[in-house]
Structure 1
Amino acid sequence: MSFTISELVSFEEEVKKSRFQAFAIPVETEQQIKECLEQFKDVSTTHQCWAWKLGHQVRFNDDGEPSGTAGRPILATIEGNQLTNVLVLVNRWFGGIKLGTGGLVRAYGGCAGKCLTLAEKIELIEKHKIRLNCHFNEWSILQYEFKKQHIDFVEHYLPEGVMVEASVLVSQIEPLSIKLQDLTRGREKLKRLESEHDE
């Protein structure tokens, strides 16, 4: 079971005259992460360290702090909270007192952790992308089914019929597949694309 956070949260504290400011941001794509890092760029900081997790993918950055003292502890707090689809950014303004490697790990990990405790955790329900084709006269029946089950879909009208892409819960795949085969008398099959949130 994976969780993400419902909305952006921030937390700020001072550690031995250095100011630390953390932002935790829910994200869904690497492009969105790049945009967030650009948006939160602050040239006044001494360091802007971050970590993110999207499904099985993780990245972190120490931004000039000694290796392993910033990005990795931030990532550890994300994973310790069983979170995914989250970017945590921690800014530091150096206050003149060196913290040492242990102090940096505690400061970055601690600030990120306190920030994440302020966030509302929501369960991430895994969805799969599917694609199907049908004739024009069949689409109205399928469309009714999609709407009844609150399935998000995009339809593409082609000369020979309709191609539909949708995001569905795992439990919806088999019933939809059977419905499509019945409707098209076995002519069409449901195709599964990549899952949106890898567990």
Structure 2
Amino acid sequence: MPFTIASEASFEEDIKKSRFQAVAVPVENEQAVKDFLEKNKDLTTTHQCWAWKIGHHVRFNDDGEPSGTAGRPILATIEGNELTNVLVLVNRWYGGIKLGTGGLVRAYGGCAGQCLLLTEKIELIEKKKVSFACQFNEWAIFQYELNTQNIEYTEEYTAEGVTVEALLQVHQIEPLALKIQDVSRGREALKVIEEPKDD
């Protein structure tokens, strides 16, 4: 069963006068990765190295450190903790003492590992995209239902009524499908949108 982390965590340590700061965050997609890295760009750092894993997709970046000494060890700690949908960014402020390649691997991997130890691991719940339509007078009922269950959705108003796309946890699909049939008296049905598999 894949796990992710419940919320953002950070950890800092000094190694031979260099300051290392790791930040781990849960991410849903590549856009979330880009947004986080953009928001956390820090020009005071000497290096900002990172790694992320989302499903079967992984990326890492050494940001100027010798190849394989930063991004890959960070990724190894993510995979070693059996995590997915996680980004770990490790900032380094150089303190004047070279650590050597082994030292860098230990520093980046170790700092990322300590950071991940502080996180709460949660089971990654599979979500599916669904869509349904309803009339204007029924929308308030469904909107209330979606909001009370903290379901992400987008709605679009058409001449006929409202079309809705939502992201549901697997166990939420059947109850909502029944509710839609009930409220619309069998006129509408919940459709599961199959995502193309890309592995």
Partner of 1:79: 79
In the alignment, structure 1 segments of 5+ residues that lack a partner are: none
Partner of 1:130: 130
The aligned counterpart of 1:172 is 172
1:116 has 2:119 as partner: no
- Residue pairs, 1:145-160, within 5 angstroms: 151-160=151-160
Residue in structure 1 matched with residue 10 of structure 2 by the alignment: 10
Q: Within 5 Å, give how 1:11-30 maps onto structure 2.
A: 11-30=11-30
DSSP-derived class of the 2:69 partner: coil
- More moved, 139-148 vs 52-61: 139-148
Structure 2 residue runs of 5 or longer lacking an equivalent are none
SS in 2 for 1:113: helix
**d(CA) in 2 for partners of 1:10 and 1:68?**
23
1:13-92 → structure 2 map (5 Å cutoff):
13-92=13-92
Cα 1:8/1:150, change in 2 over 3 Å: closer
Deviations 1:89-127 (A, max 9, x none): 111222333322222111110010011111222232222
User: How many residue pairs align between the two structures?
Assistant: 196
1:111 and 1:144 map into 2 onto residues whose CA distance is 44
Measured at CA, do residues 23 and 175 of structure 1 come closer, stay the same or move farther in structure 2, by a change above 3 Å? closer
Cα–Cα, structure 1 residues 118 and 151, in superposed 2: closer, same or farther, change >3 Å?
closer
Distance in 1 between the 2:132 and 2:142 partners?
A: 10
Change in 2 beyond 3 A, CA 1:10/1:180: closer
- RMSD of aligned Cα (Å): 2.9
Q: Which stretch of the first structure deviates more once superposed, 147-156 or 8-17?
A: 147-156
Counterpart amino acid of 2:31? Q
Paired letter, 2:170? V
Distance 2:9 2:146 in 1: 35
